[in-house]
Chains A and B, each alone.
Chain A
Amino acid sequence: MSLFQNLRQALIEKKISAETLAQRCLALARTRNPKLNSFLEFRETEALSDARLADLRIAAGERGPLLGIPMAIKDNILIEGSQASAGSKMLAKYRAQYSATVVDRLRAAGAVIVGKTNMDEFGMGSSNENSAYGAVRNPWNEDCVPGGSSGGSAAAVASGVVPMALGSDTGGSIRQPAALCGLVGLRPTYGRLSRWGLIAFASSLDQIGPIADSSLTVAAMLDASSGFDPRDATSAKKEGTDIFSKLEALSKTLPASEVFSGIKIGFDPSQLGDGVDESVRARFLETLNDWRLGGAEVLETPLPNAKHSLAAYYLIASSEASSNLSRYSGLLQGYRSEKFSREASLQDLVASSRSEGFGPEVQRRILLGTFALSSGYYDAYYKRAAQVRRLILNDYLSALKTVDFFVSPTTPSTAFRLGEKSASPLAMYLSDIFTLPSALAGLPGVSFPMGLGSDGMPLGVQVISAAWSEEKLLNFVRLNEVYRAESSVLPVTNQNNGGLLS
């Protein structure tokens, strides 16, 4: 059973109160944080108050899956009264004036938010080394990165402090850290979860989603937080999902050879070439074989334009970032240069504040985006990238006519060492190579564990499906968890419930 299931059962059976659980969770988080640096803020008073409310609801007979369950929230998602730094010095002193819709909904479902998690600045990074508040370390090996940009959320879950956290995914920032930390991470269909209260990076790509210890937890979080929100103009006019109870009812009744019968799975062999570690390739091919033995039909399904994803993504995301981040000027909110004097020109004040407030990766992407949008280069870069984006979407639409799922490794390697890729932006960007195409296409994607690499670090497999088919995706992950032991790998620190129930 996952940590989430154990905690839920203990709460329902009143073996522990939500208040005691929140206290233990906060104590554990404080103990582990000096090494991992996964939390930027603890919400002691608010968490205990929410936990007491959850206890009253449990005592009154409520049984919602998230009642009393502790969780963490990435620091680019607003909670009224809490900090929301987005990992940036620019917003070091910023306190949220309102809560994100997803936060309101999760709290209404009884989740207890214990803290805000570290992240790459404004979501720009794949290793969580780009935080103004220091790098996050991977609980599996503290010399390695946890992935990014939702690295703090992934490390918090993998270290057994909480069973679930919210992240955000612009080009892979949920799925990549979930893979590198041995967790389940879902990027929902674009528009499935409201972005109201999410600090913007690249608005046509940003999507909030869960990182958790199992598909059940992810389903419960998605059910609680999805659905139309009139405050987000890109929110889809759809009902919230209802997946958790169906997954919970799934039990081991099928013979091994029929578990995946009737499921068609596509993959593109050309994606497994140069740049993909041998142990990743080998483990992925073994996973495909497992599915074949379970009755699935595995087909070669080319995505001919996916090879252009990295270029298209960095041009589009950087262009949108250069526009979104223009609001940080040192004038109305956020950091203002300490060199400022009232005699300086407004232009100097803005440039000094932005240069001191933004870190190097954010500055690099603002510059790149400004270049791509500038006169003379717009058609050659931004417009062309947007045209290629459509070709990538068309590739998926064509592939998903013949297969239920498109699969790949989530990352080309296991977690790399801190500092290993810092010198080359391109090498760092390539660590997102598998997660970028579906982000551009707006499709839902999930990463879940596919065992360990040759270095003993976790690996993830990524599954993409048609828009709005999260139920089908999570059902597939649940089948893997129930029938295949490799799909529920969790770090040593998360065994024995991380000490939360002892």
Chain B
Amino acid sequence: MAKITIEDVQKIARLSGLNLDTDDLQKYQIQFENLLQHFESLNAAVVSGVEPLYHAVDENNFRDDDQEAESFPRKSLLANSPDHDDVNFRLGRILGGAE
């Protein structure tokens, strides 16, 4: 059975881009152990030589030639952003700290 530690949950949270407080870390550690214990049932399935099925139908991810088309107006795209200056998305500092 997979043993999940608080440190494991912390690492997964970091990879997931989520902040978890101490209570959350403990809660998820217990829940993941329970879920993974249930998921161990997959080990009973005989999968040797079985090709994984990532899409249920064969006919998918077709490709077409690129075609020039109009894009969405800048204004309408910026309208859904949390912060902008009417031309650009406004983000935080990417490199370095406060000046």
Contacts of B54 in A (CB 8 A): 204, 386
Chain A, interface size: which category? 35 or more
With A314-B39, A390-B51 given, name 9 new contacts (CB 8 A).
A94-B80, A95-B79, A308-B42, A331-B91, A349-B92, A367-B16, A367-B28, A384-B43, A426-B34
Contacting residues of chain A (317-340) with chain B, CB-CB under 8 angstroms: 322, 326, 329-336, 340
- Interface membership of B22, Cβ < 8 A: no
- List chain B residues, Cβ under 8 A from A441: 56
Give the chain A neighbours of B50 by CB distance below 8 A.
387, 390-391
- The list of the 10 closest CB pairs from A to B, nearest first, reads A442-B56, A386-B52, A336-B82, A390-B53, A387-B47, A343-B98, A311-B39, A234-B60, A389-B53, A355-B19
Looking at the complex, which one of A341, A345, A374 makes contact with B15 (CB distance below 8 Å)? Answer: A374
**Do the beta carbons of A351 and B17 come within 8 Å of each other?**
yes
Which residues in A have their C-beta under 8 angstroms from that of B94? 346
| A426 near B80: Cβ-Cβ < 8 Å | no
Asked if B19 and A340 make an inter-chain contact with CB atoms under 8 angstroms apart, the answer reads no
The residues of A with any CB-CB pair to B shorter than 8 Å are 93-95, 97-98, 189-191, 204-205, 230, 233-234, 236-237, 305, 307-308, 310-312, 314-315, 322, 326, 329-336, 340-347, 349-352, 354-355, 358, 363-364, 366-368, 370-371, 374, 381, 383-391, 393, 425-426, 440-443, 467
A393-B56 in contact given A311-B42, A345-B93, A349-B92 (Cβ < 8 Å): yes
Residue of B20, B35, B64, B97 with most partner-chain A CB within 10 A: B35
Known contacts A97-B77, A368-B35, A370-B16; A312/B56 CB under 8 A: no
B87 CB-CB contact with A under 8 Å: no
List chain B residues, Cβ under 8 A from A355. Answer: 18-20
User: For the complex, is B31 an interface residue (Cβ under 8 Å from A)?
Assistant: yes
Say yes or no: B52 contacts A390, CB within 8 Å: yes
Closest residue of B by beta carbon distance from A237: B59
B residues near A366, Cβ cutoff 8 Å: 16, 18
Q: Is the CB of B53 within 8 A of A191?
A: no
Could you tell me the dominant secondary structure of chain B's interface residues?
loop
Which residues of A have CB within 8 Å of B31? 364, 425
Find chain A residues with CB under 8 A from B72 CB. Answer: 97-98
List residues of B (7-45) whose CB comes within 8 Å of A's CBs. Answer: 8-9, 12-13, 15-20, 28, 31-32, 34-35, 38-39, 41-45
Give, as a whole number of angstroms, the nearest-CB distance from A193 to chain B: 13
Question: Most chain-A CB neighbours within 10 Å: which of B8, B13, B42, B93?
Answer: B42
Give 6 pairs: A residue, B residue, CB < 8 Å, sorted on A: A97-B77, A308-B41, A343-B97, A345-B93, A367-B16, A441-B56
By the criterion CB–CB under 8 Å, are B47 and A426 in contact? no
Q: Which residue of chain B has its CB nearest to the CB of A329?
A: B17
List the A residue with the shortest CB-CB distance to B89. Answer: A332
A331 and B39 contacting across the interface, CB-CB below 8 Å: no
Residue of B nearest to A430 (CB): B38
How many whole Å from B47's CB to the nearest CB in chain A? 4
Bound-state Cα–Cα, A261 to B10, Å = 59
Complex CA gap A236/B56 in Å reads 12
Point out the residues of chain B lying under 8 angstroms from A204, CB to CB.
54-56
Contact: A374 with B19, CB < 8 Å? no
User: B46: nearest residue on chain A (CB-CB)?
Assistant: A391
Say which residue of A97, A98, A344, A426 sits within 8 Å of B92 (CB atoms): A344
CA distance A248 to B15 in the complex (A): 54
Q: Are the C-beta atoms of A388 and B28 separated by less than 8 Å?
A: no
A254 to B57, CA, bound (A): 37
Specify which chain A residues have a CB less than 8 angstroms from the CB of B82 in the assembled complex.
330-331, 333-336
Cβ–Cβ contact B55 & A364, under 8 A: no
A326 touches B35 (CB 8 A): no
Report whether B39 and A381 are in contact in the complex, using a CB–CB cutoff of 8 Å. yes
Chain A residues, CB < 8 A from B35: 314, 368, 425-426
Query: What is the bound-complex CA distance between A80 and B48, given in angstroms?
Result: 48
CA distance A341 to B68 in the complex (A): 39
Closest Cβ neighbor of A80 among chain B residues: B76
Counting chain B CB atoms within 10 Å of each CB, the highest count among A189, A326, A367, A386 belongs to A367
Q: How far is the CB of B4 from chain A (nearest CB, A)?
A: 8
Residue of A nearest to B98 (CB): A343
B89 touches A234 (CB 8 A): no
Closest A residue, CB atoms, query B28: A367
Q: Which of A93, A237, A308, A351 interacts with B19 by CB under 8 Å? A: A351
